[in-house]
Structure 1
Amino acid sequence: MAALSIALSSSAASAQAATPGEVRAQHALDAAKKMGSPELYALLKNFPKGADLHMHLSGAVYAETFIAEAAKQHLCIASVSAGTPAVPTGQGAVQFVTPSGKECDAGQVPSGEIFKHQALYDALVDSLSMRAFVPTQGINGHDQFFATFGRFNALQGFEGEWLDEVATRAAAQNEQYLEIMNTPPFGGAIGIARRIGWPIGSEQSISRDMLAKLRDAMLAAGLRDEVATDRKALDTMEQQRNSIERCGTPAAGPGCAVKTKYLYQILRGFSPEQVFAQTLLGFESASADPRFVGLNFVMPEDGYLSMRDYHLQMQMLDYLHTVYPKVRVTLHGGEVAPGLVPPDGMTFHIREAIDLGHALRIGHGVDVLYEKDPDALLKQMAAQHISLELNLTSNDVILGVKGKDHPIAAYRAAHVPYSLCTDDEGVSRIDLTHEYVKGVQEQNLEYADLKQSARTSLEHSFLAGPSLYIEQDHYAHKVAACSASITAASKPSPACEAFLATSEKAREQWELERRLAEFEAHAGAVKH
């Protein structure tokens, strides 16, 4: 294949002569790599990472936070296995449940008891994450990963705390922007979908006319009224975060400086009418509230309904894109591996996500070399500037794909833009710095590649406004108003300031360049 025969060069950033700061940073990276993961982590924690474009809010929260919240909510701890008591021995998987009465049911443990029994506390951390997971007969990393989400579903009303946690962690790692996947309330939309139903005989394929009639019916039934519910939920979450972090006061926490926007999550593993109703609500919400900068389909891509209805769901997006052309889409595509699904299930997901789903970014993209004509697909992604949301740890723990088996080498050879992301840092027990370390150690990324990833994250973000750069994915030339070199102490000129005022994206990109200059000026001077 041509894509694999192309000599792997460094990123486009390295095509330019390296600056003294970049040379210094590369030397520091080489030295840290020889010493091991802790030294790499210490160096790269301060590296400016721009944005994390692929992260799920609930999956980004660490189990310890959930445990503390469960105690506040007076939940009970129950065994995942039916009929097995959740005694404080820490044996077996456990979950949070809402008590049926004033007291916990027999065999359950009040959440207030968690802190008295270390074994039970440990069992909860393990049940809510990938920590200490060992595959057993019939249960692999994929199963454990996705099972964790149902185990904390009983928690309600803590999204503001979750937002504070991820923003504060991002600030500590020199991140500027989080594009967070979250599922706003959609119960009303599902009720409408159930009443209206799905057109008979169109389970696998549907015309645009039929989808247009279905949309009209759902809107007539009041679906658009649910937008206010979604916006209120977002208001509440952000107000809680701002209160916790004391944003807007002299005592503001570091997390306040991290900008956050949201991707409207669509649950792809449900019936067609429910998926369409939630997708329609997502498009409506994103059209009404600029905090929703786009949408994404979530849940296991290999699930029965996800596989059966994949083409159908892309048809939904293809139609809705004609009605809401300004709403941007990023999609989980190709998050499958050999053996997880039949071979023909790995041949079209990424291509349809782009051609029918109008995805501007692809999350995971692990099956790209198993798709029909992968060379053409990779060239298409490069030509259309469709970026890859690269989730190295997630691909490892869920799919067992890592190292030389990961297709990132093919993406890089084809010059497809990519940015390192976390996916679910709480479940995986990682952070974005860990992903940069993993990229260096397992994929031989050099400093120029890390810098390219950070720049790409903001270039392909869904922030409003034009880019700081003249040509997409090429960072050598900034727009005329901001063409001056940027140092750690730089401030925008009046002309540049005027341009930055017109673009949320460009403002973050300019600040990233300043932070990169600051990092390169002190590269290697890591304080332990």
Structure 2
Amino acid sequence: MAIWRISSTLRFTFLAAAFLVSGCANHADLAQAPGEGLVVQSEPDLNYLATQNYYHELISGAMPSIAELTLFTNQLPKGGDLHHHYSGALYVETYLDWVDKSHFCICLDNACQGGTKGGLESAAKYEVVKNWKSGGCISAGDLRTQKKYSAFYRDLLKRWSDKDFANHFHEQSPPDQQFFDTFGFFGSVSDYSYQAGLQALKERAIAENVLYLETMLKSAPAVDNPSLAKTLNALNADSSDRDMEAAFQAYFDFLASDPAAKAVVEEYARSHAQAAAGINDSHFTLRFQTYVSRNSAPAKVFSGLYAAFAAAQQSALIVGVNLVGPENGYIAMRDYSLHMKMLRFLRQRFPETKLSLHAGELVLGMVPPEGLKSHINEALNIAGARRIGHAVDIVHEADAYQLLEQMKTGGVAVEINLTSNAFILGVEYEAHPLQLYRRYNVPYVISTDDAGVSRNNLSNEYLLFTSRYKPTYEELKAVVYNSIDYAFLHDQEKADARRELDKRFAGFEAQIAKQLELEE
């Protein structure tokens, strides 16, 4: 790094000249609101320029300086993580702690018998059962401390997460199945303590300089009405909009007037408030999205979505609604358009509620080619999504260029999950549509998806972003600010968060400049 070995006076003269040539913006003005350009500051910020040039040196050349870039992205202020699943974000080690605290145990083989209140039921190898004394079952404490179980413990880590999936040969399921199967292993303890889990996620976020988290905590509850459900479940892709609206309206009227449904929604909203108690402070902000599985029967999906919208109306902590689950599932594909019309119907009745939708988490071969043509379009133009999660199949969408323009002009941000997309879909490096979104000026954010399952964190997602795609420092900062600008926060909350980001970037750039001075 010869540039940093010159004298302090010469270096700052060089940086000031570089600023005048580049006309670059300062740290407070880099993020772009929809439709706005970058604002050039009137005087050079020498710390900013030092950081800009140092970063440029790290990413230059055929091989980026990965070790130094890792340190850089670990320290980098990161704004928010907007695509985040609570249960998939916690690491296996936390769940194993909760296994023992719940007095559960883990099956050592497929003959394990799990004792429950209703009697005995079989459980498979690596699964959690609800009786500490069950035969063929071991406590998490013994699993981790007794040497004879060390191989089983390593295998459990590989079952409950994506650990070691690709670094050696072993018998394995397809990557997408491996990913989604993990939730079944730790699901029975994932609700052990939402507050403890959120506190752990907060501490991890603060440690990597994240100030905002928008997470999906738990599925919205459904209230059944067998008679109305029969009509709604009979809907299909060939049903008319009139028949759909009639079925939606009948179920909506029931849910809106049913005391039991009201109580369920109130309890659901209250449970989020209880989980978040003591989490928010001057250094960190937490908000929730609520969600429904897209692979359930239509009536259950609709009822759950109603509860999600109604809870968001009741609680300031719940800021958005989503659909989750494998998008290539048979029911998810069959009912995709039906789900989008449910969302349109409910959004008309709860207009303040925002949508961030998983859409286009598909690749060629995962579904027939016609299954790749419309999901992003429908999420935008039928459901009215304000952000799109993944959006990987944009390259196969009908009228893709018009969609890209619409997303740009409408300020619809894409949630980019590089690790998740590489593992589940096999899409990475230049094959990733991030390059398209960058080229066509579609706003985007960097997020984690399920960091615990991926054994990852947000800092590493930024490492992948910077090392693979080599954005300028201006673009890097703009992306960080996007994670606040496109968050589902109120305007004042966004303004406060942006000011906090300004302070953090000022401190970060001063630290980088000081370190460079010490290296001389």
TM-score normalized with structure 2 length: 0.82
How many angstroms apart in 2 are the aligned matches of 1:84 and 1:226? Answer: 35
How many angstroms apart in 1 are the aligned matches of 2:80 and 2:172? Answer: 37
**What does residue 471 of structure 2 align with?**
445
TM-superposed deviation, 1:445: 2.0
Q: Check if 1:271 corresponds to 2:305.
A: no
Q: Check if 1:58 corresponds to 2:87.
A: yes
**What does residue 204 of structure 2 align with?**
169
How many angstroms apart in 1 are the aligned matches of 2:271 and 2:95? Answer: 20
**What does residue 397 of structure 1 align with?**
423
Matches within 5 A, 1:198-237: 198-199=230-231, 201-204=234-237, 205=239, 206-221=243-258, 222-237=260-275
- Give CA-to-partner distance per residue, 1:257-289, whole Å, 9 cap, x none: 210000002111100000000000000000011
How many angstroms apart in 2 are the aligned matches of 1:408 and 1:185? Answer: 31
- Give CA-to-partner distance per residue, 1:139-181, whole Å, 9 cap, x none: 2211111110010111142211210111111111111110111
**Aligned-partner SS, 1:71:** helix
Judged with a 3 Å threshold, the aligned counterparts in structure 2 of structure 1 residues 423 and 395 are, in CA distance, closer, same or farther, namely same
Judged with a 3 Å threshold, the aligned counterparts in structure 2 of structure 1 residues 162 and 12 are, in CA distance, closer, same or farther, namely closer
Q: Is the 8 A contact 2:110 2:125 kept in 1?
A: no
TM-superposed deviation, 1:184: 4.7
Q: Select the structure that is richer in helix.
A: 2
**What does residue 121 of structure 1 align with?**
153
**Aligned-partner SS, 2:187:** coil
How many angstroms apart in 2 are the aligned matches of 1:403 and 1:525? Answer: 33
Unpaired runs of 5+ residues, structure 1, are: 1-9, 87-92, 249-255, 466-502
Give the alignment partner of residue 326 of structure 2, picking from 289, 295, 300.
300
Residue 379 of structure 1 aligns with an amino acid whose one-letter code is E
**What does residue 364 of structure 2 align with?**
338
**What does residue 310 of structure 2 align with?**
284
**Aligned-partner SS, 2:389:** strand
Judged with a 3 Å threshold, the aligned counterparts in structure 2 of structure 1 residues 24 and 193 are, in CA distance, closer, same or farther, namely farther
How many angstroms apart in 1 are the aligned matches of 2:396 and 2:219? Answer: 34
Judged with a 3 Å threshold, the aligned counterparts in structure 2 of structure 1 residues 446 and 218 are, in CA distance, closer, same or farther, namely same
Q: Is the 8 A contact 2:79 2:481 kept in 1?
A: yes
Matches within 5 A, 1:64-463: 64-78=93-107, 82-83=110-111, 94-99=125-130, 101=131, 103-105=133-135, 107-115=136-144, 116=146, 117-134=149-166, 139-155=173-189, 156-184=191-219, 186=221, 189-190=222-223, 192-194=224-226, 196-199=228-231, 201-204=234-237, 205=239, 206-221=243-258, 222-239=260-277, 242=278, 257-463=283-489
Judged with a 3 Å threshold, the aligned counterparts in structure 2 of structure 1 residues 525 and 77 are, in CA distance, closer, same or farther, namely farther
TM-superposed deviation, 1:29: 1.6
The structure with the largest alpha-carbon Rg is 2
**Aligned-partner SS, 1:139:** coil
**What does residue 496 of structure 1 align with?**
none
Residue 425 of structure 2 aligns with an amino acid whose one-letter code is L
Query: Percent of aligned positions with the same letter in both sequences?
Result: 31
Judged with a 3 Å threshold, the aligned counterparts in structure 2 of structure 1 residues 113 and 264 are, in CA distance, closer, same or farther, namely same
TM-score normalized with structure 1 length: 0.81
How many angstroms apart in 1 are the aligned matches of 2:248 and 2:158? Answer: 44
Q: Is the 8 A contact 1:171 1:258 kept in 2?
A: yes
How many angstroms apart in 2 are the aligned matches of 1:407 and 1:23? Answer: 30
- Give CA-to-partner distance per residue, 1:107-156, whole Å, 9 cap, x none: 33233321223223222222111111148777221111111001011114
How many angstroms apart in 1 are the aligned matches of 2:99 and 2:143? Answer: 10
**Aligned-partner SS, 1:213:** helix
How many angstroms apart in 2 are the aligned matches of 1:193 and 1:174? Answer: 47
TM-superposed deviation, 1:418: 0.6
Judged with a 3 Å threshold, the aligned counterparts in structure 2 of structure 1 residues 417 and 59 are, in CA distance, closer, same or farther, namely same
Aligned-residue Cα RMSD (Å) equals 2.6
- Give CA-to-partner distance per residue, 1:10-64, whole Å, 9 cap, x none: 9987965585444322222234446633311211212111111110011110111
Aligned residues: 458
Q: Is the 8 A contact 1:185 1:233 kept in 2?
A: no
Residue 232 of structure 1 aligns with an amino acid whose one-letter code is R
**Aligned-partner SS, 1:48:** coil
**What does residue 44 of structure 1 align with?**
73
How many angstroms apart in 1 are the aligned matches of 2:196 and 2:127? Answer: 18
Q: Is the 8 A contact 2:312 2:353 kept in 1?
A: yes
Judged with a 3 Å threshold, the aligned counterparts in structure 2 of structure 1 residues 345 and 193 are, in CA distance, closer, same or farther, namely farther
How many angstroms apart in 2 are the aligned matches of 1:231 and 1:128? Answer: 29
How many angstroms apart in 1 are the aligned matches of 2:227 and 2:267? Answer: 20
TM-superposed deviation, 1:212: 1.1
How many angstroms apart in 2 are the aligned matches of 1:183 and 1:63? Answer: 18
Q: Is the 8 A contact 2:220 2:292 kept in 1?
A: no
Judged with a 3 Å threshold, the aligned counterparts in structure 2 of structure 1 residues 391 and 427 are, in CA distance, closer, same or farther, namely same
**Aligned-partner SS, 2:103:** coil
Q: Is the 8 A contact 1:181 1:263 kept in 2?
A: yes
TM-superposed deviation, 1:195: 6.1
How many angstroms apart in 1 are the aligned matches of 2:419 and 2:235? Answer: 38
Residue 212 of structure 1 aligns with an amino acid whose one-letter code is Q
